[in-house]
Structure 1
């Protein structure tokens, strides 16, 4: 392995580890803004998309789930 390839490889490795550590350190700040209703809405939407019988957009309509607290 030449020195240039080794330098590029190790610099990419270092930067990826550094960026991953930064994302992990910021994750609690982002996650604290998710409320239970938003998480439930995302889960229900994923279930609708995964349980759709066909790929036709007309047949698999987008549904929104509201809780009593939103009204």
Structure 2
């Protein structure tokens, strides 16, 4: 499948509407990592999974989750 070309300005305008613009930063960091073929390390993989689990806990329980406390159990 050939790569898709996205209108960056239109995408950023949409992303700034939700989550106070935080989605835009995450999306741009992801696109940058893919374009540069950035390789992570095991520590960063674990950190990203802890973050995802904490976000899901926050969503399900409707509360702010302290990541350090979440990791410590």
TM class by smaller structure: 0.3 to 0.5
For normalisation by structure 1, the TM-score amounts to 0.38
Higher relative contact order (CA 8 A, sep 6+): 1
